[in-house]
């Protein structure tokens, strides 16, 4: 039987496996990050950090049901200095993506500068799409006017591979316009998509919302958002410069879901809600399921079918 290659390249960054965690899920504390270092995941994305540690929003702030999740975490994190010193102490065996999500543009400039000082960080994932912060300036991922100038300023000093975590877009013109902006800069990758903002899940028995912050409104993740993730990945694959890789995120709970993300153009994938539900063993299971599909389809690597979704 042919050996199946499930490694990935994100614009030259080599991942031993094309599957990693999504920022936010079980990647905040020393213990969680150590578990990821010892796991099958092909890379590690840290919880989006700010300059100062944050407790985040009031609890309950996360809820899941059979096909989805809702969260309004509010960026609970231990502050950038914790993540930099944790990485300094550790033997690193896979690419590290430091996720940053400053509360203002100035804070983001500062955080990117700090990240540039660490040799342990492979790449920066700049999160411009957190839907849960009240005190934050307008979400930059939806601000087509400010984002260009913001990214231009970042690349005046940034020397690290840098990618951007985007919110979902629901109109083709928005994806096209965002791709036109991103194509002007030496961006390594985009991560599509963050949770669907402003969802509401309710408990009809209790006649109540299920999370406390923002009167129950939060970001929706899990299987129900997969069609939106696939649509965004495929459209960005069409409009982005070919050297900008896409990391797929949204609705993955099986090897088949990963196959679909890659078919739409993803070079690697991140697991959020399903990692939360299943824990650290999820990466090994998904790898096995992906290999099973590739064997059946007689594909030897993810590059054999990446982006090759057929139309009628
Ligand atoms: C949060 O901490 O509120 C979630 C972060 C995100 O969705 O980007």
Reply yes or no on whether 130 is catalytic.
yes
Instruction: Summarize pLDDT for 196-229 with one digit per residue, the tens.
Output: 999 999 999 999 999 999 999 999 999 999 999 9
What residues have CB less than 8 Å from 78, skipping those under 6 apart?
28, 29, 47, 49, 53
Residue of 130, 192, 249, 264 marked catalytic: 130
d(CA 1, CA 292): 12
Place of tokens 């411009």: 128
Task: Tell me if 155 is assigned to some domain.
Answer: yes
Give the pLDDT confidence of 6-30 residue by residue, as tens digits.
999 999 999 999 999 999 999 999 9
- What is the atom index within ligand 1 of the atom nearest the CA of 77? 2
For residue 262, count CB atoms less than 10 angstroms from its CB and return exposed for 0-12, middle for 13-18, buried for 19 or more. buried
Residues spanned by the domain of 183: 8-58+76-198+223-304
pLDDT band at 136 (very low <50, low <70, confident <90, very high): low
Task: Give residues (CB < 6 A) around ligand 1.
Answer: 24, 48, 73-75, 127, 129-130, 132, 194-195, 219
Taking residues 141-162, report their average pLDDT.
97
Q: Is the pLDDT of residue 306 over 90?
A: yes
Q: Among 60, 71, 78, 211, which residue has the most ligand 1 atoms within 8 Å of its CB, making it the best to mutate? A: 71
Q: Using 50, 70 and 90 to split pLDDT, how confident is the model at 137? A: low
Are the CB atoms for 115 and 88 separated by under 8 Å? no
Residue length of the chain = 312
**pLDDT tens digits along 155-207:** 999 999 999 999 999 999 999 999 999 999 999 999 999 999 999 999 999 99
What is the rounded average pLDDT of the residues 86-114?
97
191 in a domain, yes or no? Answer: yes
The answer to whether 212 and 252 have CB atoms below 8 angstroms apart is no
Q: Is the pLDDT of residue 265 over 80?
A: yes
| CATH classification of the domain holding 281 | 3.20.20.70
Q: What are phi and psi of 9, to 5 degrees?
A: -125, 120
The band of 138, judged by pLDDT with boundaries at 50, 70 and 90, is confident
2 pLDDT tier (thresholds 50, 70, 90): confident
In this structure, which residue's CA is closest to atom 5 in ligand 1? 130
pTM exceeding the 0.95 threshold for the entire prediction: yes
Per the CB < 8 A criterion, the answer to whether 201 and 192 are in contact is no
pLDDT for res 302: 97
Q: Tell me if 15 sits within 8 A of 26, measured CB to CB.
A: no
CB 97 within 8 A of CB 190: no
User: How many domains does one find in the chain?
Assistant: 1
Is 68 contained in some domain? no
Cα 132 to Cα 6, 26, 192, distances in angstroms: 34, 18, 17
* Any domain includes 218: no
> What is the per-residue pLDDT for 134?
73
Q: How far is the CA of 75 from the centre of ligand 1 (A)?
A: 5
């Amino acid at each position: 039987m042919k050996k199946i290659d499930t490694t990935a390249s994100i614009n030259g960054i080599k991942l031993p496996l094309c599957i990693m965690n999504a920022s936010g899920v079980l990647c905040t504390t020393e213990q969680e990050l150590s578990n990821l270092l010892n796991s099958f995941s092909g890379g590690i994305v840290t919880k989006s950090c700010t300059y100062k540690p944050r407790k985040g929003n009031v609890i309950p702030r996360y809820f899941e049901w059979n096909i989805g999740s809702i969260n309004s975490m509010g960026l609970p994190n231990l502050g950038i200095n914790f993540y930099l010193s944790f990485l300094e102490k550790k033997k690193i065996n896979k690419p590290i993506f430091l996720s940053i999500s400053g509360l203002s543009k100035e804070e983001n400039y500062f955080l990117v500068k700090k990240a540039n000082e660490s040799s342990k960080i492979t790449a920066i994932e700049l999160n411009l799409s957190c839907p849960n912060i009240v005190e934050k300036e307008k979400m930059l991922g939806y601000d087509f006017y400010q984002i260009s100038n913001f990214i231009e300023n970042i690349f005046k000093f940034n020397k690290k591979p840098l990618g951007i975590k985007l919110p979902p877009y629901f109109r083709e013109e928005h994806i096209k316009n965002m791709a036109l902006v991103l194509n002007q800069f030496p961006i390594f990758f985009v991560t599509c998509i963050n949770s669907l903002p402003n969802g509401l899940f309710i408990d009809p028995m209790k006649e109540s919302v299920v999370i406390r912050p923002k009167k129950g409104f939060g970001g929706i993740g899990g299987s129900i958002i997969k069609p939106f993730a696939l649509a965004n990945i495929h459209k960005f694959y069409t409009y982005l410069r070919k050297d900008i890789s896409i990391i797929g995120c949204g609705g993955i709970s099986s090897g088949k879901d990963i196959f679909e993300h890659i078919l739409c153009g993803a070079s690697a994938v991140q697991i959020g809600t399903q990692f939360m539900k299943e824990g650290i063993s999820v990466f090994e299971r998904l790898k096995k399921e992906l290999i099973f599909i590739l064997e059946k389809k007689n594909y030897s690597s993810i590059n054999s079918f990446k982006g090759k979704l057929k139309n009628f």
